[in-house]
A and B are shown apart, each in its own frame.
Chain A
Amino acid sequence: MNGIRRILARFPLHLAVIVICLIWLTPTVGLLVSSFRHKDAVFATGWWTVFRIPMDFAQFRLDNYIQVLTAQGMGRAFLNSLTIAIPSTIIPITIAAFAGYAFAWMEFPGRQVLFVIVVGLLVVPLQMTLIPLLRLYNRVGLAGTFLGIWLAHTGYGLPFAVYLLRNFFGGLPKDLFEAAYLDGASPLTAFTRLALPLSVPSLASLGIFQFLWVWNDLLVALIYLGGTEKVAPLTLKLSAMVQSLGQDWHLLTAAAFVSMAVPMLVFFTLQRYFVRGILAGSVKG
Chain B
Amino acid sequence: MSEFLSQVFTTLLAILLGVGGVVGLFLGMEFLIGFLPQRLQPKVRPWAYIGPTLLIMGIYLVYPTLHTLYLSFLDERSQQFVGLKNYLWTLTSPEMHIAFRNNLLWIVLMTLFSVGLGLVIAVLVDRVSYESVAKSVIFLPMAISFVGASVIWRFVYAFKPANVPQIGLLNAIVTALDGQPLGWLVDTRVNNLALIAVGIWLQTGFCMVILSAGIKSIPREILEAARVDGASEWRIFWQVIVPMIGSTIAVVATTVIINALKAFDIVFVLTNGQRGTEVIANRMYKEMFSFLNFGRASAIAVILLLAIIPIMAANIRRFQAQEAIR
Contacts and interface: CB of A to CB of B under 8 A. Distances in A.
Contact between chain A and chain B defined by CB under 8 Å: yes
Interface of A: 13-14, 16-17, 20-21, 24-28, 30-31, 34, 42-49, 75-76, 79, 82-83, 86-87, 90-91, 94-96, 98-99, 101-103, 106-108, 111-112, 114-116, 118-125, 127-129, 132-133, 136, 146-147, 150-152, 154-156, 158-160, 162-164, 167, 170-171, 174, 187-188, 201-202, 204-205, 208-209, 212, 216, 218, 235, 238-239, 249, 252-253, 255-257, 259-260, 263-264, 267-268, 271, 274-281, 284
Contacts of A239: 147
A87 B19 contact: yes
Interface in B120-134: 121, 124-125, 127-128, 132, 134
Interface string B126-163: 01100010111111111111111001110110000000
Nearest to A284: B219
Interface stretch (B56-64, B106-114, B182-190, B235-243): B56-64
Contacts of B215: 276
A121 B219 CA distance: 34
B219 A281 contact: yes
B26 interface: yes
Interface stretch (B91-99, B270-278, B316-324): B316-324
Nearest to A34: B155
A129 B136 contact: no
A24 B140 contact: yes
21 contacts: A13-B124, A24-B204, A28-B152, A30-B169, A45-B165, A46-B169, A47-B155, A86-B19, A95-B53, A99-B52, A122-B255, A123-B308, A128-B298, A132-B68, A162-B53, A171-B248, A218-B145, A255-B147, A259-B145, A267-B139, A275-B216
A70 B50 CA distance: 46
B213 A201 contact: yes
B259 to A, nearest CB: 9
Contacts of B125: 17
A129 B220 contact: no
User: What's the dominant secondary structure at chain A's contact region?
Assistant: helix
Contacts of A152: 60
B64 A128 contact: yes
B87 interface: no
B234 interface: no
A252 B152 CA distance: 10
Contacts of A274: 135, 209, 212-213, 216
A268 B254 CA distance: 27
Contacts of A83: 10-11, 14-15
Given A28-B152, A158-B53, A112 B316 contact: yes
A205 B209 contact: yes
Contacts of A106: 42, 45-46, 49
A174 B323 CA distance: 11
A102 B46 contact: yes
B53 A20 contact: no
The 10 closest A-B pairs by CB, nearest first: A155-B60, A256-B148, A280-B219, A87-B18, A102-B49, A129-B64, A99-B53, A216-B145, A276-B216, A201-B213
B7 interface: yes
Contact of B121 (A20, A111, A114): A20
B61 A99 contact: no
Given A28-B141, A116-B316, A252-B147, A17 B216 contact: no
A124 B59 CA distance: 13
User: What's the dominant secondary structure at chain B's contact region?
Assistant: helix
Nearest to B216: A276
B43 A108 contact: yes
A115 B216 CA distance: 26
A112 B65 CA distance: 21
A238 B146 CA distance: 12
Interface residues of B, number: 111
Nearest to A173: B326
Given A115-B319, A256-B148, A17 B128 contact: yes
B73 interface: no
Contacts of B165: 44-46, 49
B258 interface: yes
Given A27-B153, A124-B65, A129-B61, A202 B281 contact: no
A28 B140 contact: yes
Nearest to A25: B137
B104 interface: no
Given A82-B11, A119-B312, A276-B220, A171 B53 contact: no
A174 B213 CA distance: 20
Given A95-B52, A119-B312, A146-B14, A256 B136 contact: no
A257 B50 CA distance: 39
A276 B217 contact: yes
Nearest to B209: A205
Contacts of B172: 46, 48
B216 A155 contact: no
B251 A21 contact: no
Contacts of B61: 121, 124, 129, 155-156, 159
B85 interface: no
Contact of A205 (B49, B56, B210): B210
